[in-house]
């Protein structure tokens, strides 16, 4: 990959010199009145001290006036957050539609939900939240046929095993199944507080109806997998030093756990950005360790240990190849999905003794990207994305086509949940206009039936979801999904909300989101473009949005906005955008590069200071996607697009709501704090610039339903209000 030329370095240096000169001064109240739409008025934002700190990057000096806001625990930062949250609350009290949004979102979100089941024998284990509950509980349900004399249509009895409300009054405590022992006697589950990535691990005995004393303390666990005998379990725990795989014997102290894998292998040191998991093969023979190098993985290594031969070292399936692999052991054969010499993916039969170049092809690379795969019921299920629409083909293990899995329209389909020895597979299907339902697939007959469908008061028949295509700045053809009420006007007068991501090889398909459903019910359009940087068309599509090519993502986004306006779905005065995480970076780039295109922005859990992101929490992972300012050849392009360094005084900024939370342990909330302070200082147009920082919110799902409704209502009220008549 070619590095940027010297001309780009000069351009980036010039951009840095546009940083506002607020050094050593308290932010001035240059605007005495801030005016939102629909009659909302606010005083000037709370004053924020600008305390300049100068960094020298390879001869280029960069001033950071809000470095002090990086310290979340300082009294000054806490005072800043208190003032900012009060300022935001003052806005929300004036937003007349917010009360209605709370009522509507309560109807949409206070409903039942279910995870994909995990099968063990004649039992299914899953998490399920009933209507009116704050969090999901862990359940078990029999999948056996109805007993003689019992109506076949009678629903099998289910039993609640773990209810978070039974051991904590905190509505933001959630549980998640990590693994179930082979005999279904034990359930390993995670307990999470709020939206943090960290969790503790506990073990529930089904027969005894209680949680055992064994507990792993709060940390980042990348996998938990019961040993074949159920008397112990393997777990991969990650910290700043790296990942380590341990074996815990039930009934013993965690301090006595045995280190199984980590630190180094074959003389190669395993570093902090090497993330790996340990899983047991379906037949219980192998412990399989998959090592992902970086996020997203630029390389995957796979090693395995034969558990029938205690004390034997790990063998290598794949090592030191710059490609991504995943493996399934089934009846004496290794099946491997990879993009090695196949950017859109293929499936091979692997021989650990030789290179993949001569492995046997089972499913060859095709025109569409291979998005997911599974072996269930001794059949191979391969999901591809055809122009971002899922299509799943059934194959024999020899690679012969044996049917299709039918989906009910345009939408998002999960991969199949199940093991090679299971008869049934489960999957979820949903879309912007179709609430998520769990389906059961009989691998013998090919028939599917609805296993679970929530009762959500949303009439899908009244809405339309379509896929269109537009042309980006460099001529690239980009798909975009658009949803709206049937018959909705297309004359430029309606509101439109657009979201996007464009990164980390992640494919964005039409998913169910209660806030989006609310927006559609109010009469707005909703759009999702499939930007480069994602995985919708394979690794090449991803690489066109990485490193020095990140600007392609932003150009695709701006071209989508131009297309929607040209097609009269909306106009800039009624155009809202939202994105979180890497999508929050997209929101920041919109503010820095094309603020005139939009009326309202929600920038959620964002990554915004691209010169310092790698220094905080797990930011170093993402240098595999973005690069690092500590690299002299990568610094120039990061500086050129980094939102925090490129905001400057101007009058056409849209209304902005930065949304973050103190439980975000993935993207440090400092990005939102610093950029909110800076934007309040440089905005000259009088539109609201708000910061919403909750205590329990974070990257991972976990807050209670009531809190989620309030958070969504804040965003909905802001976006709808600020896209109304100017």
Q: What is the pLDDT of residues 127-137, one digit of tens each?
A: 999 999 999 99
- Among the listed ranges 21-35, 242-256, 537-551, 558-572, which one has the minimum average pLDDT value? 21-35
Q: Please say whether the beta carbons of 203 and 185 come within 8 A.
A: no
pLDDT at 475 over 60: yes
pLDDT of residue 155: 55
Which residue shows structure tokens 């994602």?
534
pLDDT of residue 270: 92
Q: Please say whether the beta carbons of 117 and 451 come within 8 A.
A: yes
- The rounded radius of gyration (Å) of the Cα atoms in the chain is 26
Q: Please, what sign has the CA dihedral across residues 248, 254, 257, 262?
A: positive
What gap in Å lies between CA 565 and CA 579, rounded to an integer?
A: 19
Q: What sections of 31-97 are H helices per DSSP?
A: 75-94
Find residue 141's DSSP bridge partners: 124, 158
Quote the DSSP letter at residue 383. Answer: E
Count of residues in the chain: 726
What gap in Å lies between CA 604 and CA 657, rounded to an integer?
A: 8
- Per-residue pLDDT of 134-190, as tens digits, reads 999 999 998 754 333 344 445 568 999 999 999 999 999 999 999 999 999 999 999
Q: Please, what sign has the CA dihedral across residues 288, 294, 297, 300?
A: negative
pLDDT of residue 30: 64
pLDDT of residue 4: 30
Token pair recorded at residue 214 = 């064994």
pLDDT band for position 311 (cuts 50, 70, 90)? confident
Residue 525's alpha-carbon distances to 521, 569, 595, 714, in angstroms, are: 10, 7, 20, 19
Q: What sections of 341-473 are H helices per DSSP?
A: none
Active-site hit among 199, 417, 699, 700: 699
Which residue shows structure tokens 């890497």?
582
- Per-residue pLDDT of 567-619, as tens digits, reads 999 999 999 999 999 999 999 999 999 999 999 999 999 999 999 999 999 99
Q: Of the candidates 588, 597, 604, 574, which has an alpha carbon nearest to the alpha carbon of residue 721?
A: 574
Q: What percent of the chain has pLDDT over 90?
A: 87
pLDDT of residue 9: 26
pLDDT of residue 144: 59
Q: Please say whether the beta carbons of 80 and 695 come within 8 A.
A: no
Q: Please say whether the beta carbons of 186 and 203 come within 8 A.
A: yes
pLDDT of residue 2: 30
pLDDT band for position 194 (cuts 50, 70, 90)? confident
Taking each continuous run of H as one helix and of E as one strand, the counts in the chain are 13, 42
Cα dihedral: 682, 687, 688, 689 (round 10): -30
Run of H or E including 623: helix 623-626
- Per-residue pLDDT of 501-510, as tens digits, reads 999 999 999 9
- Among the listed ranges 88-92, 193-197, 464-468, which one has the minimum average pLDDT value? 193-197
pLDDT of residue 285: 96
pLDDT of residue 12: 33
pLDDT at 19 over 70: no
Token pair recorded at residue 486 = 């049937």
Token pair recorded at residue 261 = 């894998």
What gap in Å lies between CA 583 and CA 531, rounded to an integer?
A: 11
Token pair recorded at residue 487 = 């018959």
Run of H or E including 215: strand 210-226
Q: What is the mean pLDDT of residues 564-569?
A: 98
What gap in Å lies between CA 680 and CA 691, rounded to an integer?
A: 10
Quote the DSSP letter at residue 697. Answer: -
pLDDT at 14 over 70: no
pLDDT at 73 over 50: yes
Q: What is the mean pLDDT of residues 340-357?
A: 94
Whole-model pTM? Answer: 0.92
Which residue shows structure tokens 């039993």?
159
What is the residue-averaged pLDDT of the chain?
A: 92
Active-site hit among 472, 581, 683, 700: 581
Q: What is the longest distance spanned by two Cα atoms in the chain?
A: 83
List of E strands, 352-388: 360-363, 369-376, 379-386
pLDDT at 22 over 70: no
pLDDT at 10 over 80: no
> Is 699 marked active-site?
yes
pLDDT of residue 375: 98
Q: Please say whether the beta carbons of 257 and 221 come within 8 A.
A: no
List of E strands, 227-256: 232-239, 242-249
Q: Of the candidates 629, 526, 626, 37, which has an alpha carbon nearest to the alpha carbon of residue 273?
A: 626
What gap in Å lies between CA 69 and CA 674, rounded to an integer?
A: 6
């Amino acid at each position: 990959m070619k590095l940027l030329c010297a001309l780009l370095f000069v351009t980036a240096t010039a951009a840095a010199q546009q940083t506002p000169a607020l050094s050593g001064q308290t932010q001035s109240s240059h605007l005495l009145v801030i005016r939102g739409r629909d009659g909302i008025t606010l005083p000037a934002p709370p004053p924020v001290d600008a305390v300049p700190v100068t960094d020298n990057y390879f001869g280029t000096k960069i001033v950071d006036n809000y470095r002090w806001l990086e310290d979340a625990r300082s009294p000054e930062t806490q005072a800043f957050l208190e003032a900012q949250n009060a300022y935001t609350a003052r806005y929300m009290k004036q937003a007349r539609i917010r009360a209605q949004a709370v009522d509507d979102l309560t109807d949409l979100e206070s409903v039942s939900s279910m995870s994909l089941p995990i099968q063990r024998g004649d039992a299914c284990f899953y998490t399920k939240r009933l209507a009116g509950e704050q969090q999901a509980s862990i359940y078990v349900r029999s999948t056996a046929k109805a007993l003689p004399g019992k109506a076949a249509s009678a629903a099998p009895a289910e039993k609640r095993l773990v209810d978070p409300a039974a051991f904590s009054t905190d509505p933001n405590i959630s549980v998640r199944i990590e693994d179930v022992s082979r005999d279904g006697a034990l359930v390993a589950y995670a307990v999470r507080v709020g939206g943090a990535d960290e969790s503790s691990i506990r073990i529930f005995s089904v027969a005894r109806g209680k949680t055992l004393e064994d507990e792993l303390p709060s940390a980042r666990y990348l996998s938990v997998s019961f040993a074949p005998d159920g008397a112990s379990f393997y777990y991969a725990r990650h910290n700043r030093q790296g990942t380590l795989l341990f074996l815990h014997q039930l009934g013993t102290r965690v301090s006595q756990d045995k280190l199984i894998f980590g630190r180094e292998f074959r003389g190669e040191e395993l570093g902090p950005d090497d993330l790996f998991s340990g899983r047991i093969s379906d037949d219980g023979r192998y412990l399989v360790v998959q090592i992902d190098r970086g996020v997203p993985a630029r390389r995957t290594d796979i090693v395995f240990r034969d558990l029938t031969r205690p004390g034997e070292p790990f063998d290598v399936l794949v090592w030191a190849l710059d490609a991504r692999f995943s493996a399934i052991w089934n009846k004496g054969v290794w099946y491997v999905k990879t993009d090695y010499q196949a950017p859109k993916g293929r499936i091979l039969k692997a021989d650990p003794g030789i290179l993949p170049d001569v492995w046997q092809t089972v499913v060859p690379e095709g025109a569409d990207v291979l998005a997911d795969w599974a072996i269930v019921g001794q059949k191979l299920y391969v999901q591809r994305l055809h122009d971002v629409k899922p299509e799943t083909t059934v194959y024999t293990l020899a690679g012969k086509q044996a049917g299709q899995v039918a989906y009910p329209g345009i939408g998002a389909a999960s991969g199949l949940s199940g093991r090679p020895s299971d008869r049934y597979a489960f999957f979820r299907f949903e879309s912007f206009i179709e609430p998520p339902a769990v389906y059961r697939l009989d691998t013998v007959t090919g028939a599917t039936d609805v296993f679970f469908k929530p009762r959500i008061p949303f009439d899908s028949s009244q809405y339309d979801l379509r896929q269109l295509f537009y042309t980006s700045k460099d001529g690239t053809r980009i798909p975009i999904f658009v949803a709206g009420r049937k018959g909705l006007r297309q004359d430029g007068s309606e509101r439109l909300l657009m979201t996007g991501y464009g990164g980390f090889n992640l494919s964005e398909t039409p998913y169910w989101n209660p806030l989006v459903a609310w927006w559609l019910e109010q009469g707005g359009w909703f759009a999702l473009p499939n930007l480069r940087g994602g995985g919708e068309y394979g690794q090449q599509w991803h690489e066109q949005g990485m490193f020095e090519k990140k600007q392609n993502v932003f150009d695709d986004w701006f071209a989508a906005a131009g297309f929607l306006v040209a097609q009269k779905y909306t106009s800039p005065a009624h155009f809202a955008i939202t994105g979180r995480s890497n999508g929050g970076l997209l929101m920041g780039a919109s503010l820095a590069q094309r603020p005139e295109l939009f009326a309202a922005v929600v920038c959620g859990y964002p990554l915004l200071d691209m010169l310092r992101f790698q220094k905080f929490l797990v930011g170093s992972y993402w240098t595999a996607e973005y690069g690092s300012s500590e690299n002299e050849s990568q610094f120039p392009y990061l500086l050129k697009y980094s939102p925090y360094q490129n905001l400057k005084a101007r009058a056409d900024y849209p209304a902005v709501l930065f949304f973050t939370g103190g439980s975000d342990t993935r993207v440090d909330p400092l990005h939102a704090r610093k950029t909110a302070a800076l934007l309040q200082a440089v905005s000259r147009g009088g539109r609201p610039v708000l910061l919403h920082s909750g205590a329990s919110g974070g990257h991972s799902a976990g807050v209670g339903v009531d809190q989620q409704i309030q958070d969504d209502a804040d965003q909905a009220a802001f976006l709808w209000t600020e896209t109304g008549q100017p």
